[in-house]
Amino acid sequence: MNKYDFKKIGKFLEKKRNEEGYSLEYLAMKGEQSITTLCRLEKGDGPKKIEKAIEAYEKYCSLFGFTVEEVYQIIRLEEPDELRTRLEIAEVSIDLKQSLKEDIERLEQLEVYAEVYSKEKAWITFLKAKAFFYLGQLEKAKAAATKVIESEEANSENLKSAAHNLLANYYYANNDIPSALMEIEEGIKSFKGSSRMDVYYGLLSFKVLLLRNSYEELEELIQNHHQIQNAHITCLVFECKARNELERKKYDKAICSAIAGLKIAAKEQKFDRSVELWEVLGKVYEEKGDFDTAERAYKKALKLEGKVDQKLLTTIYNRLGYLKLKQDQLDQVQEYINHAFSIDHVGPRILETYCLQGRLWIRKGKMKQAVSILEKGVKIAEKFGAKEAAQNIVTLLLSCLQENEPKYFEYLNTFFKLSQT
């Protein structure tokens, strides 16, 4: 049974020949086929036997660097919505994060066909960027996202905004908050129309999380959360809302927002968001003085170990450590610190662990150990440009030092420099 439409393949070859500026005479000589044969192949009038016809078309296609199968796929992708349908399926598959390497391979195949017809090339590149990011291949993700932004074809469907969002995540993963915020602003600014609204709401959510005082953006998110179709972003909106309400000490509202987000996260199996929501719920109860409920919330997050990026759990161990410090259960504080350090020694989340360890040594009256660990924390904070964390650690350091010690003046000077930048 023959699946190939030789008339369409012939038209493709004729079109390709004309685009390349080749004459039938030239190709006949190059391919060792007669002019008559090539002319008949272009009209779809090849040999009657399927095997012979495929063999003849293979020979002609090879003159342009294609196989018959590749030409067949290119023609199929030219059919109305065929390529878009494949890319929509690919995007769903990538978002599921279950077969990312295979997804990239399929995209690279589509990329070859899209080289012939330029439509959707930017979309393919963006999907590759997203898949690379999920695989942890951050530099490849950055390169692909940058390529999308530079592409004229990215102006449609808000691919440019989506690429800025991905770059913001790249910089955030590399602890470069200023660059992340810059990409967020560029993404918001370049967003037009109503395509990919989840990207727009995702950018707003990201901005709120990073700045914490973006009340205008938060209000827009809250008003429009019913329109958001992406469960991850919906959970993010509720997390932002809960954190904002916590900061304003509206504890009951914060609890409601966190629980609403947790219900969606559980239903949609958004485990990363579940961890963050359990953390904010625990903080609410901790601030209310309900330490038992706070501890249960934090430990709910720990039960997701194995389903989430382990670095997320660093924050949970820190919260549990601080909770036990408030309860003067110092041995348990050290246990949680050890858990946190076993996950990550250099990331931004671990800076709070250095603070916690410093506070524990101070509580025990071991000032030398406190100074030693806090100095390490300062170096890491300065490396990442984490000014607020550096200030907190330096403040703790100053409390450990005598005013007549040389280090005291050194860190006092550091504190003033951090305050001025």
What the block records as the tokens of 329 is: 């259960």
How does DSSP classify residue 60?
H
pLDDT at 165 over 80: yes
**Contacts by 87-95, CB closer than 8 A, 24 or more apart:** 87/120, 87/123, 87/124, 87/127, 90/127, 91/127, 91/130, 94/127, 94/130, 94/131, 94/134, 95/130
pLDDT at 23: 92
Residues 6+ apart with CB under 8 A from 165: 183, 184, 187, 199, 202, 203, 206
Residue 158 DSSP class: G
Asked if pLDDT for residue 339 goes beyond 90, the answer is: yes
Instruction: Show Cβ contacts of residue 413 under 8 Å, excluding neighbours closer than 6 positions.
Output: none
> How sure is the predictor about 198, in pLDDT bands with cuts at 50, 70 and 90?
confident
pLDDT of residue 364: 95
* Per-residue model confidence (pLDDT) at position 323: 97
Please give the pLDDT value at position 222.
75
What's the mean pLDDT in 264-287? 95
Q: Output the pLDDT for position 77.
A: 65
Q: How confident is the model at residue 32 (pLDDT cuts 50, 70, 90)?
A: confident
Cβ neighbors of 378 (< 8 A, separation 6 or more) are 390, 393, 394, 397, 411, 414
Whole-structure pTM value: 0.68
CATH 1.10.260.40 domain extents, the chain: 6-78
Residue with the two structure tokens 């504080």: 333
In this predicted structure, the answer to whether residue 213 has a pLDDT above a threshold of 80 is: no
75: confidence class by pLDDT, cuts 50, 70, 90: confident
Q: pLDDT tens across 39-61, in order?
A: 999 998 888 888 888 899 999 99
Residue 344 pLDDT level (bands cut at 50, 70, 90): low
Percent of the chain with pLDDT over 70: 93
The model's confidence at residue 272, banded by pLDDT at 50, 70 and 90, is very high
C-alpha to C-alpha distance for 168 and 178, rounded to whole angstroms: 9
Residues of the chain with CATH 1.25.40.10: 201-308
CB 141 within 8 A of CB 129: yes
Distance set, CA 390 to CA 139, 212, 375, 378, 411 (Å): 27, 19, 10, 5, 11
> DSSP label at 153?
G
Average pLDDT score over residue span 189-194: 86
Q: Give the per-residue pLDDT at 327.
A: 96
pLDDT in the model for residue 365:
94
pLDDT at 193: 78
Task: Quote the pLDDT of residue 81.
Answer: 64
pLDDT at 108 (0 to 100): 87
Of residues 200 and 110, more confidence is placed in 200
Distance from C-alpha of 265 to C-alpha of 234, rounded to nearest angstrom: 9
CATH class for domain 201-308? mainly alpha
Task: Look at residue 375 and tell me whether its pLDDT is greater than 90.
Answer: yes
Instruction: Kindly list the distances between the CA atom of residue 281 and the CA atoms of 257, 285, 313, 326, 337, in Å, as whole numbers in the listed order.
Output: 9, 7, 15, 18, 21
Query: Which is more confidently placed, 145 or 344?
Result: 145
- pLDDT tier for residue 78 given thresholds of 50, 70 and 90: low
pLDDT of residue 119: 59
- Mean pLDDT score of the chain, rounded to an integer? 87
CATH, domain range 6-78:
1.10.260.40
- Rounded Cα distance between 256 and 275, Å, is 16
Exposed/middle/buried for 163, CB within 10 Å: 0-12, 13-18, 19+? buried
